[in-house]
A and B are shown apart, each in its own frame.
Chain A
Amino acid sequence: EGLCGAPGPNSGCFSEVAYSQSTGQKEQLSRCLQRGIRRVQDLCKVLQLPTVFEETAVSYFQRALQHPSFHLVSLEKKELLGGCCVFVTCRQHNWPLTMGTICSLLYAKQELFASVYLSLQKELGLSVPALSLADLVKTHLNSFRLFQHTADIPARFVEDKETMVTRTMQIVELASETWLVTGRHPVPIVMAAAFLSWQSLQPTARLACTFARFCKLAGVDLPPPAHLRLKELLEILLRMASQLTWLKVFNMDKKTVVKHIGDLLQHRIFLLKNAFCLEDKEEQHATASGEGSLGEGSPGSPPVAGGSAQEESCPLEGKRQREGSPRPLLPPCLINPRKRLRTAALSASDSAITGDEPISDSEIEQYLRGPEEIRAFRKAKAWL
């Protein structure tokens, strides 16, 4: 008596119980599915996602597990499937979550995660929007530890977050316009842009700080391609600086150009037009000169594309090219193409093959071992 009496308003006996826990709902689901759903829910809690994300991700997971392609996959893949569902849900709600984050939370190999993700996208016909770079910049910089003075971080290295985010976004946009972003992993570009932005805001105090040290101070990893992205960004900035009247007199290098990033970003559009050969200009030149091979509407004529047209009027001579002369605005893979062994097109004799040619015995016999060779091979194998 009394134990079961009605509790008072402030008794604190009540707590929120999810519907799924209070009813027999879970008992109808298989253990594998229950475990998977719990894992998805845990992931959402760790990432502090809104409740609706959790419900969407769980729904996807249930659908996926019922699909024949995933029903009998290994337990390892089923774990990754849960992570993929959370990842897809975040992307669909424009929540900037990278694959690297999910893989590190699941301790998963990125290749395996990638294959499960692509299968999920294909089998369920899911539409996954592209990762928004702008959002990624904001959230990635949120994790930096440079915005407050601590014992590890000297005062001269502390920066205002909003200013740094704004400048980093501008540099990332510049990278996007100059073909440094397309086809590349986004995080190294954001890191390189953040570093340049941070240095440029107080160059006197920060130019001596290396990229690796910056990442250590910020408390983030330095992904390996970030050095290359930094190099490419500096090259773009140097070219732009060569077009600024008041900077032409100075001998800019990759250290000194950082001091003028603010000016370069301010006059970005004008400088890009002058520093690089843009395609539109090239097509106009070619049309005006009456070469006539650029007719887009004319069938049968080989299209002279931007790349080759630009090479004619903006000769790419590699290191011999003067720094002041405009360079084509092309992706780095086209500026410095890797020399690959190109397979030649089918020759005339190859094209004449019908598939029904007679096959000579001598040709086949070259692939067969003689009796002595077989004996020798057997002996050698026995030794092994």
Chain B
Amino acid sequence: MDQNNSLPPYAQGLASPQGAMTPGIPIFSPMMPYGTGLTPQPVQSTNSLSILEEQQRQQQQQQQQAVQQSTSQQATQGTSGQTPQLFHSQTLTTAPLPGTTPLYPSPMTPMTPITPATPASESSGIVPQLQNIVSTVNLGCKLDLKTIALRARNAEYNPKRFAAVIMRIREPRTTALIFSSGKMVCTGAKSEEQSRLAARKYARVVQKLGFPAKFLDFKIQNMVGSCDVKFPIRLEGLVLTHQQFSSYEPELFPGLIYRMIKPRIVLLIFVSGKVVLTGAKVRAEIYEAFENIYPILKGFRKTT
């Protein structure tokens, strides 16, 4: 890339923030004060602390912790007057690559991301509603997609765009992708049973078109649910205390992406209180994930 000396407006001023060459850039440590690590603590913020101040306070706390925990592996770069920068990365448990200055001490305590435990007595009373089920099935024979597209009314096939026939049925209202290998993907159903029924109907259509279609290895691959906790959520606070599980980039997407480990579910959490849960193979995972997240979200309800 050629050196671009004339920065576009967005970049101007951001090239050298205040204190660019001065030492003392805040040290970041991902070792959050989790306590036992089992039950992440929600933010307890007083009325006098705004979110911005809270962020700065947490960063200062992390800085103090990092200074106390730093090892003797600091690289010294005193030539230009910059202080050595310590960066602790929980992911750098192996040695740094050759050719790079080893600046990163290994984390003192490996962080094991554990889903917070929810006491059984505190049920949320909210049941996530299933919105989409994705399933696959093997029809067990090779298919001529051109023939299917010609003889079926509900099929579209554009090989230049996508190498599968897109077929739709009205009841259950679903869409299927049918590949020449005989494999099929069925999407749009609202329950596992509907998905299975829909997949059987698609298989029957293919049979009626003259192919010896079977119904092998039907499997639910993904389930998506959604619900509403009915109160607004401070996403900035949630990403501060649950950084290990969360990704919140308002420049990209208005919601917070929470990757729960157990069960292995991805949640999209929005400021309005709406939550989308995806990645489940069985519906119990959706319900369990929501019951896990609900007490955490409640903790960010009163932060103003």
Contacts and interface: CB of A to CB of B under 8 A. Distances in A.
Interface stretch (A87-95, A204-212, A233-241): A87-95
Contact of B10 (A100, A172, A361): A100
Contacts of B123: 299-300
B181 interface: no
A225 to B, nearest CB: 11
B152 A368 contact: yes
A333 B271 contact: yes
A52 interface: yes
A216 B204 CA distance: 64
Contact of B13 (A52, A79, A142, A306): A142
Interface stretch (A176-184, A258-266, A314-322): A176-184
B1 to A, nearest CB: 5
A304 B230 CA distance: 8
A364 B201 CA distance: 7
Contacts of B234: 182
B193 interface: yes
B69 interface: no
A125 interface: yes
Nearest to A337: B272
Interface stretch (A5-13, A69-77, A242-250, A343-351): A343-351
Contacts of B236: 130, 176, 181-182
Nearest to B256: A183
B14 interface: yes
B169 A367 contact: yes
A143 B13 contact: yes
Interface string B47-88: 110111101100100000000000000010100101011010
Interface in B195-252: 195-197, 200-201, 204-205, 208-209, 229-236, 239-240, 243-244, 247-252
Interface string A342-370: 01011000110111110101011111110
* Residues of B contacting A: mostly: loop
A43 B5 CA distance: 10
A135 B234 CA distance: 20
A341 to B, nearest CB: 13
Interface in A35-72: 38-39, 42-43, 45-48, 50-53, 55-56, 58-59, 62-63
B254 interface: yes
A368 B209 contact: yes
20 contacts: A42-B2, A46-B11, A47-B11, A94-B25, A95-B17, A96-B14, A104-B11, A114-B252, A124-B91, A134-B56, A143-B14, A169-B52, A177-B304, A182-B236, A187-B10, A296-B298, A304-B230, A308-B230, A355-B197, A361-B208
Interface of B: 1-5, 7-18, 20-21, 25-26, 28, 30, 47-48, 50-53, 55-56, 59, 75, 77, 80, 82, 84-85, 87, 89-91, 96-97, 99-101, 103, 121-126, 129-131, 150-154, 169, 171-172, 190-197, 200-201, 204-205, 208-209, 229-236, 239-240, 243-244, 247-255, 259, 270-273, 298, 301-302, 304
What are the 9 closest A-B residue pairs judged by CB atoms, nearest first? A143-B13, A305-B230, A355-B196, A183-B254, A142-B13, A355-B193, A305-B231, A143-B12, A127-B30
Given A93-B25, A127-B90, A364-B208, 10 more contacts: A48-B16, A124-B91, A173-B52, A176-B52, A182-B271, A187-B10, A333-B270, A353-B191, A373-B153, A374-B151
